[in-house]
Amino acid sequence: MKRPGGFDGAPEPRRGADSQGSGSARGGREPGRGGSGSESDALDRSRGDGRGAGAAQAGLDRLLRRFGGSEPRAPREEAEAEVAPTIDLSEVRRAREWGSDDDVPEAGSGEDGPGGGGSEEGPGADADVPGVPPAGGATSGALEARPRGLGALAPRRRASAEDPVRAAEREVRDATRRRRARERREQRRFSAQARRRRRNWLIAAGVVGGLVVFVAVGVLTPLMAVREVRVEGAALVNAEEVAGTLQRFDGVPLALVDDREVHEALEPFPLIQRYAIERIPPHTLLVRIEERVPVVSLERGGAFELYDPAGVLLGRSDAPPEGVPQGGDGLADVSSESFRAAAEVLRDMPAELRAQVSTASATSPQNVRFVLTSGVEVLWGDAAKSQEKAVVLATMLRALADRPVTVIDVSSSEAPVFR
């Protein structure tokens, strides 16, 4: 390889004569004295390297003065006095490939040298590097090769980063993490639902248990036993007698009061038509009664007997009872259809209108008649539409109050007649 002549354009030193002289000298050497020839060759090479280094230094000084204004470097004599070290291309190549100075053997260290000894006579020492100044540039050239070595590793790193196997493994890891996170969320959600269901079941069980305990306390203990009996709705019936009859339930738990026993206790009172029992905790037994209403009084043996619409004897009175019509023709037999029809009509009348009736009679179920306290005779007909007929009769009595009327016929409620 040809060494450049430098920046000053100085001609390359001629080495023909030296080569010829050394060749003749080598030709005249004896086989046993080869060592002196090697020393002379090394001396010639060192001289040539010194002259080339001086020329390169001079050209570099001129360029620095022209562009940078820097101080010139050492004189040529000092440069010529030093022999510029050479750099092995294999070292530069290894530095570029490895990208680090730690594992690259230094120049002249003898490690991995192609010549096997690390001496200046190896092939690496004679190699000329184009474009690299021989003086003082061995170490800087090796260091400048390092960034290029790092850059040379970038494609290899990108290739390793874009490895499909590694990318697939990374995707599998990411998918596994996402799946585990989703499973944890689902597990938390389902566990929350399970806790909610368990809480609802516990609340329901607590409510049911509380009710059971409450019922058990009310049934099996005297904490909610009967201490007071109240009777409501009694007018004709003596309320104190009814309450005294029900004292048999004193001390019995309210939940254990039997309705059949209450019915047996109230059966001796014929004026009670129907009743209702209400248990009021903690100690009250309330009895609401509905009394039978006497609608007809029949004179028998000098006394007046009171009957309800069902023909039940409610009592006797020596004098005609006030507000109760007396029975006339066809009502002596309380089990007849005529009595039943007349009693049903009197039952459906308003209390104000019934109080104005003096006598009632019925020759047949379709021919019911009344006589008012004012002397007016009312032809009622059958028991159908009794409430409507009662309204018509009350209206006509108010309208005809100032007129002399003797008979009012309401058997046809749509066309009443009076005379």
Q: Using CA atoms in the order 136, 137, 142, 144, what is the torsion angle rounded to 10 degrees?
A: 120
Mean pLDDT in residue range 49-72: 59
pLDDT bracket for residue 192 (50, 70, 90): confident
DSSP for 4-43, please give it.
P--TT-PPPPP-HHHHHHHHHHHHT--GGGHHHHHHHHHH
Report pLDDT for 232.
Answer: 93
Residues 314 and 274 in one domain: no
Residues 152 and 61 in one domain: yes
pLDDT digits (tens, 9 = 90+) for 325-380: 988 888 888 889 999 999 999 988 998 898 899 999 998 999 999 999 989 999 99
State the chain's mean pLDDT as an integer.
Answer: 74
If one compares 15 and 236, the residue with the highest pLDDT of the two is 236
CB 285 within 8 A of CB 246: yes
Q: What is the pTM of this model?
A: 0.44
Residues 110 and 137 in one domain: yes
- Label residues 97-116 b or e (16+ Cβ within 10 Å = b): ebbeeeebeebbeeeebeee
Report pLDDT for 224.
Answer: 84
Q: From edge to edge, which strands make up the β-sheet containing 313-317? A: 313-317, 303-307, 296-300, 326-327, 357-364, 367-372, 377-381, 407-409, 417-418
State the amino acid at position 399 in one-letter form.
A
CB 134 within 8 A of CB 52: yes
- pLDDT at 98 > cutoff 70: no
CB 223 within 8 A of CB 282: yes
> CA–CA separation, 52 vs 44, rounded Å?
13
Mean pLDDT in residue range 237-264: 90
Of 235, 260, 291, the one marking the end of a domain is 291
Residues 364 and 408 in one domain: yes
Residues 150 and 197 in one domain: no
Residue 155 phi/psi, 5° resolution? -60, -35
Provide, rounded to the nearest whole percent, the portion of the chain with pLDDT above 70.
63
If one compares 60 and 50, the residue with the highest pLDDT of the two is 60
CB 340 within 8 A of CB 360: no
Mean pLDDT in residue range 133-156: 48
The domain spanning residue 257 has which CATH number? 3.10.20.310
In a domain, 327, yes or no: yes
Range of the domain at 62: 43-158
- Give the number of other Cβ atoms within 10 Å of residue 95's Cβ: 22
Q: Which span out of 26-40, 132-146, 261-275 was modeled with the highest average pLDDT? A: 261-275
Report pLDDT for 188.
Answer: 82
> CA–CA separation, 242 vs 367, rounded Å?
40
pLDDT digits (tens, 9 = 90+) for 152-179: 555 555 555 567 888 888 889 999 999 9
- Axis-axis angle for helices 34-63, 16-27 (nearest 10): 170
Lowest mean pLDDT among 94-103, 216-225, 370-379, 391-400: 94-103
In a domain, 24, yes or no: no
> CA–CA separation, 142 vs 145, rounded Å?
5
In a domain, 35, yes or no: no
Number of domains observed in the structure of the chain: 4
- 324, with CB counted inside 10 A (0-12, 13-18, 19+), is buried
pLDDT digits (tens, 9 = 90+) for 387-400: 999 999 999 999 98
Residues 361 and 252 in one domain: no
Report pLDDT for 52.
Answer: 54
Mean pLDDT in residue range 59-79: 56
Residue 135 phi/psi, 5° resolution? -90, 120
- pLDDT at 127 > cutoff 80: no
Residues 231 and 205 in one domain: no
In a domain, 111, yes or no: yes
In a domain, 7, yes or no: no
